[in-house]
Amino acid sequence: MNRATWVDRHGRKMPDRPAVAEGTQVHATWGQLARTVAAVASGLREQLALVPGDRVAIVMRNRPEYLEAMYAVWHAGLVVVPVNARLHRDEIAYILTDSGTRAVVTDDEHAEDIAALVERVDTLEASVVAPGPQWDRLAAAAPTALADPAPDDPAWLFYTSGTTGRPKGAVLTHRNLLMASLSYFADIDAVSATESVLHAAPLSHGSGLYGLPHVARGAVSVFPSPDGLGGAELLSLVARWPGMSFFAAPIMVKRLATDAALVAGDLTGLKTIIYGGAPMYLADLEAALATFGPRLAQIYGQGETPMTITALSKADHADRDHPHWRERMQSVGFPRTDVEVRVVDRDDRQLSAGEVGEVVVRGDVVMGGYWGQPEATKEALKGGWLHTGDLGSFDDDGCLTLRDRSKDLIISGGMNIYPREVEEALLTHPRVTSVAVVGRPDPEWGESVVAFVVVDGPRPPLEELDRACLDRIARFKRPKQYLFVESLPTNNYGKVLKRSLRDMLHQDDASQR
Ligand code: AMP
């Protein structure tokens, strides 16, 4: 089943109900959206001579035309490559080349960069700026019928955020995206046509994926102003489009949780904030729960199994009397309905509760493989299980706690140290606002623990930071060095780039030699 079928159906069933909104204004009803999608699909096929299976990239900030382009690509039987528009031009060029993209839909802001890439990327033949006259020409084409891709045909090439080396294109099929959507209904929320989804984070990542179940049920897709969502705007959008859910990286939830307008505001119309993609520390989560109440749900996933491995539901967050509540709030929750999740050793043997190993996943939501990379695919899908590269352990209740990415693990004096627990300990210090712990090569210990610390106000004495650790974790895990920094390097999805921090340490070591 084609993912664009949902738009087509709603266009017939409820043509006058709002489908897409820009702020508080309706941008398109379902009838209008269905017509635009079918017309642009026809334009892509006829005017740009694209054939089923061809890749069409979208390089634009979140805006209504993004959604129109995405569903038009599917309607036409093509494959969408949503590219994070905040990437550098060379990074975008890499993705367009790797995916063999033939056409790009972009916006004014990126038009010049993309036009230059038409020369550089061999397969790239056309770029269309939306909104604008080129887009209008596509949208004026005579609507075409829905293409009929097979369930295992690629629908979305999801480029990993590249925290480790070059990004790879996870091939997400129509079946994968359907499973991710159904799984949302099973584990996160039911959705109805009177509700809404807010695209506050890039559509090329989690927000795009969580948009799917909302389109499936006919909810309104709402686009906030491009300047970064603030509390006052969120309140007005929630009032206009009640029953609102949105996906946000932990860093954004943290920022919104202390927004004065939201702390004091009426959040009745806010249904769910889905957070994930990076660790949410307990202190931040408690602040977010104080502001938002039981509206938070956590997901743990990867592009390779589109945001579907485990979840910590709203009910889990609200169950404060549970004897393991604190531990659960530091975990990533329970396996999703549609997947099997295991923790395995280096030889892929299943480990028992309490033992730490690599998290592996199997199910219909798991990607077909990496685009054009048979070796990496074989490695990632060894034995039919997706190897996530994340380390974790189950408890006796079946709740999964992530320790870290395997490459972030620090081994010092033969002991495993998981940066996350050191970070949690340091964050209990009232002046520490964020922290990242990495290993530094050490001739005696193999690696030693280094903490990059961001503080609010004057630097606390190092003994206080040591004390925060010694009160909570084993002595050998305490950082050997604290480095105070203004901010931590993050990628465009708000993930801390530990690789950059390690590189900084390496350079420092080299310059001292
Ligand atoms: P990406 O495919 O770019 O979204 O990156 C996926 C990676 O982000 C996972 O393999 C985890 O390392 C990390 N991640 C995703 N969700 C969570 C979460 N809820 N808590 C901690 N880390 C997460």
Residue ranges per structural domain of the chain? 1-14+29-149, 409-512
Q: Is 161 in the pocket of ligand 1 (CB under 6 A)?
A: yes
Amino acid, single-letter form, for residue 162: G
- Greatest C-alpha distance within the chain: 71
**Taking the CB of residue 324, how many other CB atoms lie within 10 A of it?**
14
Ligand 1 within 6 A of 330 CB?
no
C-alpha angle 296-219-270 in degrees, rounded to nearest 5: 30
Q: Indicate if ligand 1 lies below 6 Å from the C-beta of 84.
A: no
Taken as a whole, the chain contains a residue count of 513
Give the whole-angstrom CA distance, residue 127 versus residue 131: 12
Closest residue by CA, ligand 1 atom 3? 161
Positions of the chain with pLDDT under 70: 161-165, 510-513
Torsion of CA 297, 302, 305, 310, to 10 degrees: -30
Residue of 215, 157, 205 lying closest to 181 (CA atoms): 215
Domains 1-14+29-149 and 409-512 share a fold: no
How many CB atoms neighbour CB 473 within 10 A? 17
Distance CA 6, CA 25 (A): 22
Cβ(277) – ligand 1 distance below 6 Å: yes
The residue type at 82: P
CB of residue 390 inside a 6 A radius of ligand 1: yes
pLDDT on residue 165: 62
CA–chain centroid gap for 163, Å, is 13
**Residues 149, 77: contact at Cβ < 8 Å?**
yes
pLDDT at position 212, please?
98
Beta carbons of 213 and 181 less than 8 angstroms apart: yes
CA distance 387 to 344: 9
Torsion, Cα of 83, 84, 85, 87 (10° steps) = -110
**Which pLDDT does position 510 carry in this prediction?**
66
CA distance 76 to 146: 6
Q: Which option is the CATH number for 1-14+29-149: 3.30.470.20, 2.30.330.10, 3.40.50.980, 3.40.50.10190?
A: 3.40.50.980
For residue 228, the SS3 value is: coil
Residue 295 is encoded by which pair of tokens? 């509206």
CATH number of 409-512: 3.30.300.30
How far is residue 285's CA from residue 265's CA, in Å, rounded to a whole number? 19
- Residue 302 CA, ligand 1 centroid: distance in Å: 6
Phi, psi of 309 (to 5 degrees): -130, -60
Q: Give the residue among 261, 212, 203, 268 at the shortest CA–CA distance from 240.
A: 268
Q: How far apart are CA 401 and CA 354, in angstroms?
A: 10
Structure tokens at 384: 């039919």
What is residue 512's predicted lDDT score, i.e. its pLDDT?
61
* 331 pocket-lining for ligand 1 (C-beta < 6 Å): no
CA of 336 to the centre of ligand 1 (A): 15
* Three-class SS state of 329: helix
Q: What is the pLDDT, as a whole number, of residue 91?
A: 85
CA of 211 to the centre of ligand 1 (A): 18
Determine the pLDDT at residue 513.
57
Whole-angstrom distance, CA of residue 417 vs CA of residue 283: 21
In eight-state DSSP terms, residue 438 is E
CA of 390 to the centre of ligand 1 (A): 8
Closest by Cα among 381, 58, 3, 385 to 177: 3
Measured at the CA of 192, the angle between CA 267 and CA 13, to 5 degrees, comes to 140
Q: Does ligand 1 come within 6 angstroms of the Cβ of 402?
A: yes
